[in-house]
Amino acid sequence: MVQERQSQGRGKGVCWSLRLWSAAMVSILLLSTCFVLSCVEKVWGCCPSHWKSFGSSCYHISTDKNNWNISEQKCIKMGSHLVVINTEAEQNFIIQQLNKSIAYFLGLSDPQGNGQWQWIDNTPCSQNIRFWHLNEPNLPDERCALVVHWDPTGWGWNNVFCKHKYNSICEMKKTYL
């Protein structure tokens, strides 16, 4: 009878240890799952259909010509704004998507005509991130910027009259799942 009690006591100890290990394993699995999901969430950035993905942004290349203000309004209707170029890598990605025979409005303007270029999100145009064609910008009354391909120099920015009609590039932040 004493032996029976001892073996029953050992069985309860083993059962209790097994329950603790099971609880620990379930906890580790849950934490691991949460960690993996948080990493995947940062990786699964989505862009709308027919938009181009780069970095944390999505880009839409317009197929119609409008003046700068209407171009910006069309971008806003799509939940975006005219493109703001922050890096050389972004500029290089964008120009790879473009047709060399078409000029495209950027979200860059000089509203006062005083050489104080600023992006549509109100950030000033950084001295480090400028891709103007040689001798551009040149006229103070040309207060909007576009990216255009000129032979033989290639792609660069040019200032133009805002009322003229060009294609445009819209940008939005990716949606993360």
Alpha carbons 97 and 105: distance in angstroms, whole number: 14
Same domain as 170, residue 91: yes
How do residues 22-77 score in pLDDT, each as one tens digit?
666 766 665 555 444 444 445 578 999 999 999 999 999 999 999 999 999 999 99
AA letter at 52: K
How do residues 64-122 score in pLDDT, each as one tens digit?
999 999 999 999 999 999 999 999 999 999 999 999 999 999 999 999 999 999 999 98
Instruction: Output the pLDDT for position 32.
Output: 54
Residue 34 structural domain: 2-43
In 3D space, the residue among 144, 134, 140 whose CA is nearest the CA of residue 107 turns out to be 144
Q: Are 125 and 111 in contact (CB under 8 A)?
A: no
- CATH code (residue 171): 3.10.100.10
| 0.85 exceeded by pTM | no
Same domain as 84, residue 142: yes
Instruction: Tell me how many degrees the CA angle 95-148-109 measures, rounded to the nearest 5.
Output: 100
Same domain as 96, residue 22: no
pLDDT of residue 151 exceeding 90, the answer is yes
Which residues pair with residue 53 across a beta bridge?
58
Instruction: Output the pLDDT for position 131.
Output: 96
Tokens standing for residue 124: 């000033």
